[in-house]
Structure 1
Amino acid sequence: MNPGTTPELLASLLEVRDTVSDYVRGLSVAQFTAGTDQRWSPAHHLDHLERSNAPVAAGLGLRERLPLAPREQPKRSFEQVQAAYRARLAGGARASGRFLPEPTNDMGTQLQRYRGTLEALHGQVQGWPDHELDARSMPHPVLDMLTVREMLYFTIEHNLHHLRGMQARLEHS
């Protein structure tokens, strides 16, 4: 997956929504809820993603209030944002505060809310001209200020990262 243009970003958001959802739907209730606050269950991961995706969608709805990105800031590719995120994780970055999960352990409800956040994000992105994705920026709790395009790159990678976390958790249980 290497989205670049607005249509590619839109397709990637739906693809990641469906990939994560399909994986979760294939789990038993016991698999979905197996975990602790220290070793997240798929329910924890899904709740964390909902908590992470929703503010991005809300922020995109405030286009005119988002700060302009510095003109001298070099544009980063999906791979560069992915590498920056992975480096911060390797350096010990972890979810905190409002991003810490409190799963309901109700798979249907959590899936519906999770899917809703990516659908809201998809809807917001549709209203943005491609050139403006690089013109505005948004704060990120670990990666500092990102252009809107970079935030979308991060969101796609973040969802895939947590899918890999779900898969790895179940492989080792």
Structure 2
Amino acid sequence: MYLNQHEIKSLLNTSFDNFVDFVNTLPDIRFTASPYGKWSAGQQLDHLTKSIRPVSSALGFPKVTLLYFGTSAIPSRSYNQLVADYERILDAGAKATRAYQPGVIYPAQRPALLQGFLLQKNKLINKLAGWSESDLDRYRLPHPLLGKITIREMLYYIAHHNEHHLSKLKDQELQGHTWQNQLQQLIF
């Protein structure tokens, strides 16, 4: 499905809000615990914010500066195609590059992390209004795993990336091992 600006804005809002709503339901221990070596909810929130920040900044640059990354000679992929391509790369073993990996997160950081995440959402939404439909398909930005992709594709990616990490968090919650058992394993 090919999404227009209004649909992209809605998709972004939903993906950010769903992630925040879920994270807000977690007690501090589940916000900071890293079950089985996986990223905690706080670390995933930090990772998402780090990955969105450069895009929200770039959307405010004069478009002439974005010519550095070239322009796209082909139309943007559909949302579904971009998601399929990204998932294929992950299935092949790709991982977040060092710049986007989170550090240790503490419970007291939750309000600031949530505020920073929502700030990036607001920046994206506000800056998106300054882009024409044709410019979303013309200009490109580099992605560490997908290469140079159009602005439209980057916005699709951000929405999917948020949902991807939300799905990981929900899967961790549904695993057969209770959090109390995991804490006992860490302690003993």
TM-score between both structures, scaled by the size of structure 1 = 0.92
For 1:55 and 1:36, how far apart are their aligned partners in 2? 29
Q: Is the 8 A contact 2:49 2:116 kept in 1?
A: yes
Q: Give the share of equivalent positions with the same residue, in percent.
A: 32
CA distance in structure 2 between the aligned counterparts of 1:3 and 1:30, rounded to whole angstroms: 40
Q: Confirm or deny: 8 A CA contact 1:10 1:126 kept in the other structure.
A: no
Letter in 2 for 1:81: L
| Distance in 2, Cα, partners of 1:156 & 1:40 | 19
Separation of aligned partners in 2, 1:83 and 1:66: 26
Deviation at 1:109, TM superposition (A): 1.4
- The 3 A distance-change label for structure 1 pair 135 and 165 is same
- Which region of structure 1 is more displaced relative to structure 2, 106-115 or 82-91? 106-115
RMSD, matched Cα: 1.6
Using the alignment, how far apart are the partners of 2:5 and 2:119 within structure 1?
20
Kindly state the Cα deviation for residue 64 of structure 1 after the two structures are TM-superposed: 2.4
Unaligned runs of at least 5 residues, structure 1? none
The residue that corresponds to 1:69 in the other structure is 71
User: Hey, what does 1:78 align to over in structure 2?
Assistant: 79
The equivalences for 1:100-115 within 5 A come to: 100-105=101-106, 106-115=109-118
Aligned position for 1:149: 152
Which among 126, 131, 148 is matched to residue 128 of structure 1?
131
State the TM-score, normalized to the length of structure 2: 0.85
Structure 1 residue 66: Cα displacement: 1.1
Report the more deviating stretch, 148-157 or 55-64: 55-64
Question: Are 2:58 and 1:55 aligned?
Answer: no
How far apart, CA to CA, are the structure 2 residues paired with 1:96 and 1:37?
A: 20
Whether the 8 Å contact between 1:137 and 1:145 is mirrored in structure 2 is yes
The alignment partner of 2:138 has SS state of: coil
